[in-house]
Structure 1
Amino acid sequence: MIRVTKAPEPVNFDAEVRQPGNKWLNNHPKARPSKFKSYWTKCIPDLMTEYNCICAYLAIYIDERSGAASVDHFIPKSNSAKGRQMTYEWNNYRLCCIGENRKKSKKRLPIDPFTMQPESFFIDFSDGRIYVNPTILSKSYRKKCDKAIKILKLDEQECREMRKNDFDLYIQGHVDAVYMQSHAPFVWHEICRQGLR
């Protein structure tokens, strides 16, 4: 994960997502979150454009390798305190790969890509392992970062291999810096931080 700059709400969002969504909720006050009308899918093209097709959690370009794009509700629809009121809100949406959305499921992440500290996570390029920046002074924030890795399964073998492969492609000269910045920005950031350009 890397920090993501929050994009402004699209001009058509209120009319296409918020208004019809909240109207549907008002007409179905007892509906379970799994049955909520998925008006949020209408803004996937806007999310893709505004976030350059980059998954908020894997920090990779969303293509056939990472699966289809999806809308993650950062505050889950099932959240008892704010879930319903945030279901059709742009600021609650994170663009992510469908696989990461499924891993997160109904859980609420302890850190948000929009507000997380820069350089919260590092990569060990010998095996693609992701780990929490050991220089972070706050023990509670480090625990939140560790929990996010576990919830999203960011250190599973598949994710390790993906990061390692992206790194190897760059080091072996198969892709250039422009490609890395647009397709694997977390890996690229780590290449630069570690002085491996």
Structure 2
Amino acid sequence: MIPVRQQPEPTDFESRVRAKGVAFLQKASRPQAWENREYWRDSLKDLYRAYDEVCAYSAQWIPRIEGSPTVDHFIPKSVRPELAYEWSNFRLSCLKMNARKRDFQDVLDPFQIQPDWFILDFPSLIIKANPELEESIKSQVKSTIKRLKLNDDDDCVKHRQDWLMCYCKKQFPFDFLKKTAPFIAYELERQKLIEVISSIMSVS
């Protein structure tokens, strides 16, 4: 994960999402079901564009169809239903990360994390907590990694590997890697590995 800068809400968000949601919540302040009241979905295209089509949790590009971009409520609807229709509570998430986060509250907010809290090991591509962090933050980073299964899911690691290997094989430039896999690109820059990563990954 890398820090995500909160983007301003769309100009028509009030009429398309918030107003409808507020009207619903006035009738049911603690909804037990949200069926046919998922007005936040009307903001998904805006969210997708505003956050450059990148998942806030995996820090990788979400293909429009195969990747299934979703609206994640950072503070769960079950905890703060009044935030269910608030742009500031929305995070762009791929379906897999959203399903893992669910209503758990042990995942760090991408809007609040700081640079270098999460680091990437090469060549294993395992995500770790920066060892220099104070213990309380380090614990939260580890909890986030565990909850989202960023290392436990082989597909997550393989996906990082796919992006990196394509770059190593010069299938696209570094600027494209920064756009589609910004965490990987950031770590290559931070660790000064941009020019030597191909040899580290044993790509001739």
Normalising by structure 2, we get a TM-score of: 0.89
Q: Is 2:108–2:141's contact at 8 Å kept on the other side of the alignment?
A: yes
Shift, 1:134, TM fit: 1.1
Match of 2:160 in 1: 163
Q: Distance in 2 between matches of 1:182 and 1:30?
A: 39
**1:26 is paired with a residue of what secondary structure?**
helix
Flag the 1:119–1:127 CA change in 2: closer, same or farther, 3 A. Answer: same
Flag the 1:38–1:163 CA change in 2: closer, same or farther, 3 A. Answer: same
Flag the 1:34–1:152 CA change in 2: closer, same or farther, 3 A. Answer: farther
Flag the 1:44–1:84 CA change in 2: closer, same or farther, 3 A. Answer: same
**1:145 is paired with a residue of what secondary structure?**
helix
**1:188 is paired with a residue of what secondary structure?**
helix
| Matched letter for residue 56 of structure 1 | A
Flag the 1:95–1:73 CA change in 2: closer, same or farther, 3 A. Answer: same
Question: 5+ residue gaps in structure 2?
Answer: 195-204
Alignment coverage as a number of residue pairs: 193
Shift, 1:21, TM fit: 0.6
Shift, 1:16, TM fit: 0.8
Normalising by structure 1, we get a TM-score of: 0.92
Of 177, 180, 189, the match for 1:180: 177
Question: Percent identity between the aligned chains?
Answer: 34
Match of 1:97 in 2: 94
| Matched letter for residue 131 of structure 1 | K
Q: Is 1:13–1:43's contact at 8 Å kept on the other side of the alignment?
A: yes
Match of 1:139 in 2: 135
Shift, 1:66, TM fit: 6.2
Shift, 1:64, TM fit: 6.2
Q: Distance in 1 between matches of 2:136 and 2:175?
A: 36
Q: Distance in 2 between matches of 1:164 and 1:152?
A: 18
Match of 1:12 in 2: 12
**2:145 is paired with a residue of what secondary structure?**
helix
Question: 5+ residue gaps in structure 1?
Answer: none
Shift, 1:195, TM fit: 1.1
Q: Distance in 2 between matches of 1:66 and 1:55?
A: 13
Q: Distance in 2 between matches of 1:181 and 1:63?
A: 16
Note the 1:47-62 alignment, pairs <5 A: 47-62=47-62
